[in-house]
Amino acid sequence: MTRRPHRALAAVCAAAVLALVSAAPAHADAIRDQQWALDALHTDRAWQTTRGGGVTVAVLDTGVDDAHPDLAGQVLPGKDLIGFGAGRGDSSWALHGTAMAGIIAGRGNGPGRTDGILGVAPEARVLPVRVILESKDPARAKARKSRGAALAKGIRWAADNGADVINLSLGDDSESAHPDPGEDSAIQYALSKGIPVVASAGNGGEKGDRISYPAAYPGVIAVAAVDEYGTHASFSTRRWYATVSAPGVDIVVANPDGHYYIEWGTSAAAAFVSGAVALVRAAHPGLDPAQIKKLLADTARDAPAEGRDDARGYGIVDPAEAIDAGGRLRPEDMSAKAAPAGHRGRYFGDGPTPARTDEGTANWAAPLAGGLGAALLAAAVVLWRGRAPAPGRR
């Protein structure tokens, strides 16, 4: 039998390389005006209970700019499991990770913090773990060959260093993608320590809906993308593992170069759900990952007619409803447990629908192999420049 190559880590933005298109500069306050996703997630209601204080969200990504004005004071000392590649000030450093951190825990800037990006959980802390390089980083090829275990190591490091939620806005949905035992085991380790793991469902909706990892690992809260009208985004992968959906189209994000951009992809959707999970954890710290996952599914709004489908999961995540429902749980409702390592059965209740037979089975032992990379932001348009752009970013 041919030995499968170990999955190598690639930059998160491999699917679309963050195509930048200049647009007329907007005033800073227009950034907040365009954050339609906050209204869609009913964050104003959730914030009446909590803004995520006391919760730490690990962002396993390309790095996070801790000096960005929207994140200053929110970013904890993290871990770089790549050890080389672009550094601060380079045009290929921490673009995607900073964008995801802003969605999760941005707290704005300026007088009264009314400018810039406001995250779903603006009082949560961010724990950055660098496990991938940006697609345009010249060292990407080297990282693919030599840092294939970075994601698994990063999950374990985050679980051992204070993470309350782990955000994985990344994935491999290539033709050779396969379940990696080390990554699966690391996720089960995090779940066993009471840490929910959130991942993007994949951007393969127009390219065959191939299975994406880590979204497909047991116990993960896998997130599909919808637009401002709650409609499934055509690029968002349709698969049995989708738990809920969240905004992933025309999303305003922060960037280390001082610009704000409009981007789209299931990575953004996953970041929104990680922020929602942070709010639920802050309100109900005693809930375990399985209970939180079930709460999100049970309280999702605009559910499909049949209760769940592969395009949107159980519906659009609603952190306010999940917080309220969590407060009504009875002792007998608190017995759900996270799936143990190696579990290959159903998730919760009736479980997700089976994978479509015309695209192959969802067998966990399928002989797939490939390179981690493409479940993320698909494109970007510059909105507003707050600082001088970095070289090469115009």
With contact defined as beta carbons under 8 Å apart, do 237 and 214 qualify? no
pTM of the model: 0.83
Total domain count for the chain? 1
In a domain, 202, yes or no: yes
DSSP 3-state percent helix, strand, coil across the chain (nearest 5): 30, 20, 55
Candidate list 61, 164, 310, 318, residue with the active-site label: 61
| Residue 42: active-site member | no
Burial of 176 per CB tally in 10 Å (0-12, 13-18, 19+): middle
CB neighbour burial string for 125-147, b if at least 16 within 10 angstroms, e if fewer: bbbbbbbbbbbbbebbeebbeeb
pLDDT of residue 368: 27
CA atoms within 13 A on the CB side of 15: 32
Does the residue 246 lie in any domain? yes
pLDDT of residue 30: 81
Q: Give residue 12's domain range.
A: 8-355+364-385
Q: Report if residue 52 sits inside a domain.
A: yes
User: Is 61 an active-site residue?
Assistant: yes
Q: Say what the pLDDT of residue 333 is.
A: 64
Note the pLDDT of residue 217.
98
Q: Quote the pLDDT of residue 144.
A: 87
Q: Which of 169, 212, 267, 274 is catalytic?
A: 267
Q: Which of 96, 232, 259, 284 is catalytic?
A: 96
Residue 391 lies in a domain: no
- What pLDDT, on the 0 to 100 scale, is given for residue 350? 27
Residue 2 lies in a domain: no
Instruction: Please tell me the predicted confidence (pLDDT) of residue 335.
Output: 54
Kindly state the tokens that stand for 311.
């395009």
**Residue 329 confidence (pLDDT):** 85
Tokens linked to 14: 């491999």
245 is catalytic: no
Structure tokens of 222? Answer: 């896998």
Confirm whether 56 is domain-assigned.
yes
User: H-type helices in the chain, by residue range?
Assistant: 28-33, 36-40, 43-46, 95-105, 140-146, 150-160, 181-192, 266-283, 289-299, 319-327
Q: What is the CATH number of the domain that holds 270?
A: 3.40.50.200
Does residue 261 fall inside a structural domain?
yes
Per-residue pLDDT of the chain in tens (394 residues, 90 and over written 9): 333 333 433 333 333 223 233 233 344 458 888 999 999 999 999 999 999 999 999 999 999 999 999 999 999 999 999 999 999 999 999 999 999 999 999 999 999 898 999 999 999 999 999 999 999 999 999 998 899 899 999 999 999 999 999 999 999 998 889 999 999 999 999 999 999 999 999 999 999 999 999 999 999 999 999 999 999 999 999 999 999 999 999 999 999 999 999 999 999 999 999 999 999 999 999 999 999 999 999 999 999 999 999 999 999 999 999 999 999 987 666 554 433 333 333 222 222 333 333 333 333 322 222 334 434 454 455 555 443 333 333 2
Q: Look at residue 1 and tell me if it is in a domain.
A: no
Q: Using CA atoms of 182, 290, 77, 81 in order, give the dihedral in degrees to the nearest 10.
A: 10
